[in-house]
Amino acid sequence: MRYKHHISTTTAEMVENTTYSIETPKCFHCGDSGAVEVPMAGFLRRQMGALIQDAYPELSIALREQLVTGTHPECWNEVFGN
């Protein structure tokens, strides 16, 4: 039992310290797709149906925008300014 507990703790820590690179759709401005690095824990929350702002509270709004629409933060700035 103790050993089992140890394993699950390690797994939780692994999830906590791992990031996942999500491929994003093609950007409407430059036409390139991209990727956003997110914490694995947030990725799992998102998979379970969490809202994007609840899954990735630490991500900037610009990066959340890229996850949803594919628009790169720098392209967003070019089109709409700061």
Written as one letter, the residue type at 39 is P
Q: Which of 24, 46, 72, 76 is in the footprint of Zn ion by CB under 5 A? A: 72
Among 15, 22, 29, 64, binds Zn ion (CB under 5 A): 29
Q: Which two tokens stand for residue 26?
A: 């093609």
Binding-site member from 22, 30, 50, 62 for Zn ion (CB under 5 A): 30
Which of these ranges, 3-11, 30-38, 40-48, 54-62, lies near Zn ion under the rule CB under 5 A? 30-38
Q: Is 64 exposed, middle or buried, given 0-12, 13-18 or 19+ CB atoms closer than 10 A?
A: middle
DSSP letter for 26, please. P
CB of 66 to Zn ion, least distance (A): 9
